[in-house]
């Protein structure tokens, strides 16, 4: 038998035999680099105290968008202490954002960190509405303390696995500040920071646990103002032109528009300034609004309609208007191969291990707001079939540039909403901390697959290219907007908000003048 084998080998060309031998050697090397799921999870177990500590500190800080200076520093310190290099700091017009890297070569795996809180949602970590004793009134009602800590844990675990396995690959951590207002990810996308990333990972707290295989809505944030003429409202009203009337007419048009938009559209607004006294005709009024829909194209078409309404309201009231779509987001693009692999990992991890005490807290919290006390959902949801949700995320812009996938993990009781004091309370307890640890496990398992499984990378790229065929990314932020409008004045690098407004007014005037000149020459 052995002689027969050798006789066959003698008939093989030597070059082919060498290739086969080399191939088997490569397979051996590949197997030596493989890491079991248990080894991946052991890394997270070692990092669990760090994840919990960072989650707690971020919850305590509760810094709102554009003011996350201490929160950003906390995360950067943990990264640098663990060998990451801060490659960009205070970047792309968002001072509290950053980029950190570990490793070298390809593939490049991106991981998103968020860490801003919401104003007015501060609460003690109790199942009742109770202000914090330290007087802080903001709170992590969306669980960004958990996003920051859980994603940090995953980045640190993947760094350790790269070291132990001695493989090529780069972990790139994006400190994505100000997600709740004018998120840094869209500024990063506009400046090409995701262009060389092979895949992006993210996660979000929620009512249940499952793969983030959904499409969030595209969105546009808009500032509208009207300028009129002030006068005595009783003595000489005919001399005035009410900017508030223009706002009211504009919003009347907006609310009539609701009848004719798609069911996926969402329109919401606030009047920021409607005048100072009832007996003065307001010469200035302004509002802020958000328009959402399933796709970026749907949003842009409706924003054009809204601008026409503003111009019409100005004509009807003999006022002037400034209409600025100053910030927006793309819808979130799923990726089927990554979603399937994420689902497999979640099912292998199993149900969330909530204790009877944690379930008791959840039920008391539900009862406090007159909800049925069903507690926390422990089971893993089936893989969603890419439904469209009403909410938006600036992760969407990254997803149109590189294959992107995330996970949602139960951190609040069933039927409790995010952006509430109840969510803030839950996110300050062991319930939220368990969610952050669980998310870190799922992100690390999928992240390690992306780094080491070439076939998965091919599949995810093919899916991405099919979905984006014919698409060219265009930022929803106008070129004239260099930094978030909501930045505090002492953090601005491109002039004050007043200077920006004047630039916008000048741009609007130049546009109108050019239009009139062209029209006159016809």
pLDDT given at position 321: 97
State residue 70's pLDDT score: 98
User: Contact, 113 vs 76, CB < 8 A?
Assistant: no
What average pLDDT does the segment 304-314 reach? 98
CA angle 178–100–84, rounded 5-degree value? 140
- How confident is the model over 456-461, as a mean pLDDT? 98
pLDDT tens readout for residues 228-287: 999 999 999 999 999 999 999 999 999 999 999 999 999 999 999 999 999 999 999 999
pTM: 0.89
In this predicted structure, what is the pLDDT of residue 107? 98
Q: Which run of H or E residues covers position 48? A: helix 37-61
How far is CA 407 from each of CA 10, 333, 356, 507, rounded to the nearest angstrom? 55, 14, 25, 43
Torsion region of 178: left, alpha or beta (phi above 0 gives left; psi -120 to 50 gives alpha): left
- Res 297 pLDDT > 70: yes
Cα-Cα-Cα-Cα dihedral sign, residues 243, 248, 249, 250? positive
Classify 40 in phi/psi space as left (phi over 0), alpha (psi -120 to 50) or beta: alpha
Tell me, what's the pLDDT at 35?
Answer: 80
* pLDDT tens figures, 93-116: 899 999 999 999 999 999 999 999
Q: How confident is the model at residue 25 (pLDDT cuts 50, 70, 90)?
A: very low
Q: How confident is the model at residue 511 (pLDDT cuts 50, 70, 90)?
A: low
Q: Is the predicted pLDDT of residue 146 greater than 60, yes or no? A: yes
Instruction: Tell me what pLDDT residue 514 has.
Output: 52
Alpha-carbon dihedral 355, 376, 424, 172, rounded to 10 degrees: 90
Is the pLDDT at 504 greater than 50? The verdict is yes
Q: Mean pLDDT throughout 352-369?
A: 98
Instruction: State mean pLDDT over 439-461.
Output: 98
Q: Is the dihedral of CA 67, 70, 71, 77 positive or negative?
A: positive
Report which secondary-structure segment, H or E, holds 145: helix 144-165
Higher pLDDT, 14 or 200: 200
pLDDT, residue 33, reads 55
| Mean predicted confidence (pLDDT) in 156-166 | 96
> Residue 512 has what pLDDT?
59
Query: Cα angle vertex 273, ends 269, 274, to 5°?
Result: 100
Average predicted confidence (pLDDT) for the chain: 92
Does 194 score more than 60 pLDDT? yes
CA distance 459 to 472: 21
Spatial distance between the Cα atoms of 280 and 361, rounded to a whole number of angstroms? 52
Is the predicted pLDDT of residue 485 greater than 50, yes or no? Answer: yes
Do residues 168 and 457 lie in contact, with contact meaning Cβ atoms separated by under 8 Å? no
Query: CA–CA separation, 46 vs 40, rounded Å?
Result: 10
Indicate whether 18 pLDDT > 80.
no
Answer whether 347's CB lies under 8 Å from 411's CB. no
What residues pair up with 169 in beta bridges, in sequence order? 104
Question: Nearest to residue 125, comparing CAs of 217, 66, 55?
Answer: 55
User: How far apart, in Å, are the Cα atoms of 131 and each of 196, 241, 516?
Assistant: 45, 45, 57
């Amino acid at each position: 038998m052995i002689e027969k084998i050798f006789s066959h080998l003698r008939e093989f060309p030597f070059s082919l035999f060498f290739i086969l031998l080399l191939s088997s050697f490569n397979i051996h090397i590949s197997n030596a680099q493989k890491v079991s799921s248990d080894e991946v999870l052991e890394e997270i177990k070692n990092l669990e105290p760090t994840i919990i500590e960072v989650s707690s500190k971020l919850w305590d800080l509760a810094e709102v968008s554009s003011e996350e200076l201490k929160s950003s520093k906390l995360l950067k310190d943990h990264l640098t202490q663990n060998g990451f290099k801060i490659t960009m700091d205070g970047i792309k017009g968002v001072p509290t954002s950053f980029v950190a890297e570990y490793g070298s070569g390809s593939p490049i795996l991106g991981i998103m960190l968020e860490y801003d809180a919401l104003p007015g949602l501060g609460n003690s970590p109790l199942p009742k509405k109770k202000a914090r004793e330290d007087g802080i009134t903001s709170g992590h009602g969306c669980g960004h303390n958990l996003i920051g800590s859980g994603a940090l844990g995953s980045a640190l675990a993947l760094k350790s696995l790269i070291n132990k396995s001695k493989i090529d690959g780069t972990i790139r951590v994006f400190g994505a500040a100000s997600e709740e207002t004018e998120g840094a990810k869209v500024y990063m996308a506009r400046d090409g920071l995701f262009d060389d990333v092979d895949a992006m990972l993210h996660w979000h707290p929620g009512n249940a646990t499952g793969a983030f295989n959904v499409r969030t809505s595209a969105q546009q944030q808009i500032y509208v103002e009207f300028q009129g003429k002030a006068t005595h409202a009783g003595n000489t009203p005919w001399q005035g032109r009410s900017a508030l009337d223009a706002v009211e007419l504009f919003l009347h048009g907006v609310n009539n528009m609701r009848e004719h938009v798609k069911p996926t559209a969402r329109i919401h607004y606030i009047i920021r300034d409607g005048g100072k006294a009832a007996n003065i005709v307001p010469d200035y009024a302004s509002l802020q609004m958000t328009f959402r829909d399933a796709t970026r194209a749907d949003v842009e078409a409706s924003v054009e309609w809204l601008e026409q309404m503003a111009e019409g309201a100005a004509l009807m009231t003999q006022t002037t208007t400034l209409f600025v779509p100053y910030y927006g987001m793309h819808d979130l693009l799923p990726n089927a191969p990554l979603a399937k692999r994420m689902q497999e990992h979640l099912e292998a991890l199993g149900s969330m291990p909530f204790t009877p005490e944690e379930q008791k807290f959840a039920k008391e919290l539900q009862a406090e707001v007159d909800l049925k006390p069903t507690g926390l959902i422990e089971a893993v949801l089936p893989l969603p079939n890419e439904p469209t949700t009403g909410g938006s995320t600036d992760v969407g812009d990254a997803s149109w540039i590189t294959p992107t996938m995330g996970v949602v993990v139960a951190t609040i009781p069933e039927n409790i909403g995010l952006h509430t004091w109840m969510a803030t309370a839950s996110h300050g307890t062991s319930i939220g901390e368990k969610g952050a640890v669980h998310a870190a496990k799922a992100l690390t398992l999928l992240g390690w697959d992306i780094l080491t499984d070439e076939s998965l990378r091919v599949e995810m790229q093919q899916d991405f290219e099919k979905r984006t065929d014919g698409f060219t990314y265009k930022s929803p932020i106008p070129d004239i907007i260099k930094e978030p409008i909501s930045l505090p004045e002492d953090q601005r690098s491109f002039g004050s908000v007043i200077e920006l407004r004047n630039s916008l007014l000048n741009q609007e005037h130049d546009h109108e003048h050019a239009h009139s000149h062209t029209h006159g020459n016809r």
